[in-house]
Structure 1
Amino acid sequence: MRRHTITAGILGLTALVAVTGCQATSTDTDESAAVIKIATTPLGDDPTQANPIESLASLLETETGRAVDIVDVPDYLSVVEAIRSDHVDFGIMSGFPSALAVSTGEVDALMAWRGDGAPVSTCVVLDDSPVQALDDLRDGTVAFADQASSSGYFMPVYMLHEAGLEQNDDYEVIFAGGHEGSFAALEQGQVDAACTAIMLTELGAPMFPFEDGEWRGVGESPSMPIAGAVLARPSLDEDTRALLQQTLPRVFSEENADALGALGSGFVGREAIMDPAGSEFQSFVDIAAVAGVELEDLD
């Protein structure tokens, strides 16, 4: 297993090379022995804890019999760009960035996991905060994880919209670069609330830094019809594509739930859909439109 990082700038250069037709792909090698490359955003940086990304790579190596490379990129949009530019073989993302990527027509949706009908997001405030309801965030400052995050942006923005609050008009928006950054901003008093995944608040440390009695959740968003998806480069060879569809459901199984931690908690035990059609993601476009967010703005 190897791990390396690429920046947004390098991704832009990679995309340019791919457009000019000069980039080599794994079709230039023996596909049966090709290294599988996964694009991921940072997750689980606590050195005292097993990293779920590395656990995923190890499990996938065992199931496929192939070496796996982890390619760290800064955010969800960079995962999409890494796939579109043939820099990696696949990435695993939540509903909204998956809908964005599928809408471009430049990625291949290998599989998706259905949602479980439970609320996705909440806005976390410190326990001594005067904020008791979503409307109390009017004229306040709210931290979001990433402008392409399902649980850390899209769903809470929709939730706030339904409560009569519009971003930038009724409250100030801060993008913290990730859920961890949102929590840090709240802890340091830089924002009134940090909107995040309910799942993270349930996982506790190290994914969620607040102890019981230090925080409260204000509001709950609706559920998502699709919890997440596996998106691959269209140029991926059929053997590798089929291999991933066979092995990923085994990787994301109950027996691996502890090893996968936060990465698997949104997918393990969910119904898997193979080759999901674009229509499976249409509700995300509808939710974004109601919230005044256009998916194409994130290109």
Structure 2
Amino acid sequence: MQLRTIAAVGAALLLTGCSAADDETIRFATLPVTDDPAEEAPGQAIAELLADETGQEVSVIDAPTYSAVIESVRAGHEDFAVMSGFPSAMAVNTGEVDALLSWPGREGPASRCIVLQDSPLRSLEDITPEHTVAFADPASSSGYFMPVYALDQAGLTQGEDYQVLFSGGHDRSQLALKSGDADVSCTAAEFVDKAGEGSFYFPFDKGETRVIGESPAQPVSVAVIGSQHMSQQKRETLLAALPEVFADDNHDQLGSTGSSIPAGVDPLIEPGREHFQTLVDVAEVAGVDISDLK
């Protein structure tokens, strides 16, 4: 793991063994999201904004996997982490970490399953074991987890009631449908709305395809999970400061993390486990393992 520390004044400091026990230091874990050395990781920006907001020292640890991030928070080595919907849901579902904040996903279905206009399929229930369904990637939320759940709710079990094709990307699922390699393409709902726009991700004109099924909405897009070992004072500090850190005005500075948070939407403060239950149910149906998430 790579360790970075940011003081309230923005200067970098080296952590010592005793500083990890210092309750004045806010500690958080993050995943590296870029291989470009010229691009500042969102974790650095979060740390600087949080240090400015609280006046306290903030340390950042880059962990290699979601599993490592969750374990560091669960064990109390780090105070919080920022993660997307599925890993945060699986973390909260352990009962050993808390959700401090969460933001909703986009309104409407997360995924849609489509066919060509002249397909005999009219609904998900019409799919048979002879039909092939294209998914983007086995680690994709909208391109696999959510539509597999929709198919399951329609009474269809993957590998038994339909054949699975992992295309390698949302755009490739559409190409598989267009070429006849797949009978159904299940993809992110927003891509289907791009029909007729010449989109790379949806190379169809309006009227070329039909929607035969939709998944539920994804209730959580981004969440902040917190350690149950931190002091109440530190918890209250984070609950007050983090909504300001992730405010709309900071989204550009927060890079990929900022772009994942819906604009103009206030976070839900300390959502309960039930808020994540849909994602937990989806993960169970899709056979999601935290180690598979990217």
Indicate the residue corresponding to 1:216 in structure 2. Answer: 202
| Kept after mapping to 1: 8 A contact 2:135/2:143 | no
Q: Are residues 231 and 26 of structure 1, via their aligned partners in 2, closer, same or farther at CA, if it must alter by over 3 Å?
A: farther
| Kept after mapping to 2: 8 A contact 1:113/1:267 | yes
**Partner amino acid, structure 2, of 1:89:** D
Among 171, 176, 183, which residue is 2:163 paired with?
171
Unaligned regions of 5+ residues in structure 2, if any? 5-16, 204-208
- The percent identity for this pair of structures is 36
Q: Are residues 80 and 157 of structure 1, via their aligned partners in 2, closer, same or farther at CA, if it must alter by over 3 Å?
A: farther
| Kept after mapping to 2: 8 A contact 1:93/1:229 | yes
Tell me if 1:261 matches 2:255.
Answer: yes
SS of residue matched to 2:233: helix
Q: Are residues 64 and 3 of structure 1, via their aligned partners in 2, closer, same or farther at CA, if it must alter by over 3 Å?
A: farther
Indicate the residue corresponding to 1:64 in structure 2. Answer: 54
Indicate the residue corresponding to 1:276 in structure 2. Answer: 271
CA–CA separation in structure 2 for the residues paired with 1:73 and 1:93:
13
Tell me if 1:232 matches 2:222.
Answer: no
CA–CA separation in structure 2 for the residues paired with 1:277 and 1:48:
38
5 Å-filtered alignment, 1:96-107, equals: 96-107=86-97
5 Å-filtered alignment, 1:36-115, equals: 36-40=27-31, 42-47=32-37, 49-65=39-55, 66-74=57-65, 76-115=66-105
CA–CA separation in structure 2 for the residues paired with 1:67 and 1:123:
44
CA–CA separation in structure 2 for the residues paired with 1:262 and 1:123:
27
- Asked which structure has the greater CA Rg, the reply is 2
Indicate the residue corresponding to 2:110 in structure 1. Answer: 120
**Partner amino acid, structure 2, of 1:243:** T
Indicate the residue corresponding to 1:247 in structure 2. Answer: 241
Structure with greater proportional helix content:
1
TM-score of the superposition, structure 2-length normalised? 0.64
CA–CA separation in structure 2 for the residues paired with 1:44 and 1:27:
26
| Kept after mapping to 2: 8 A contact 1:151/1:197 | yes
CA–CA separation in structure 2 for the residues paired with 1:184 and 1:61:
41
TM-score of the superposition, structure 1-length normalised? 0.63
Unaligned regions of 5+ residues in structure 1, if any? 6-23, 125-129, 203-210
Question: How far 1:154 moved relative to its partner?
Answer: 2.3
1:182-232 per-residue CA deviation (whole Å, 9 max, x = no partner) reads 57988xx9x979977667x79xxxxxxxx9543318866431223332111
